[in-house]
Amino acid sequence: MSAQIFLASTNAGKRAEFAALLATHGLELGAKIEYPDVEENAVDYLGNARLKAEALHRELRRRGIPAVVIADDSGIEVDALAGAPGVRSARYGGIELSWSQRRALMLDDLAAVPDALRTARFQCVLVGIDEAGNEYRGLGETRGRIARGERGDGGFGYDPLFVPEGERRTYAEMSAEEKSETSHRARALHALIAAMRR
């Protein structure tokens, strides 16, 4: 397995998180590579992750770069919203909304929901494709609840709203190292790397 991994994502927060997580496994995040836009129209996380991984893998091959590629699709599933937004987490309320607006919409949608019923989980599915084109998968889940309001300045996406089980702080109130101890992405990456190293 190559010591350098290319990530199929342009999300700065996600790239920073993966760089730190990969480093704990002795791996390096490769430079951001531009690749053709992928319409994430699959019905599940696995399908979307595969679309992105395959698109970047094809681009690297076109450039003559043999490399390992990983891609994730992740989302938050809120029980009081019947599991929404789920696979549509990055498009909750419409693609034109900012992350701040998406979080505000979620808080509004949950305004009448009591604390005991604000349970949620982060899901992450990773797809890895090695130099030979073999596909591997890693799954990760973190359970918790949705806070009554945004808290913290760290993280990205829904981190200011999500309080993992056993914690009083949101992910956005934790350091990156603390978040990685329970992160759905950390768990998925650990599983993926274990599968690729077998």
Type of residue numbered 144: G
What is the H or E stretch that residue 129 is in?
strand 119-129
Q: Which of 37, 44, 72, 73 is catalytic?
A: 73
Residue 37 catalytic? no
**59: three-class secondary structure by DSSP:** helix
Check the CA dihedral 3-19-24-140 and report its sign: negative
Question: Which three-class secondary structure string do you get for 2-46?
Answer: CCEEEECCCCHHHHHHHHHHHHCCCCEECCCCCCCCCCCCCCCHH
Do 67 and 105 form a contact (C-beta atoms < 8 A)? no
Contact 67, 2 (CB under 8 A): yes
125: three-class secondary structure by DSSP: strand
Across-strand partners of 187? none
Report the catalytic residues. Answer: 73
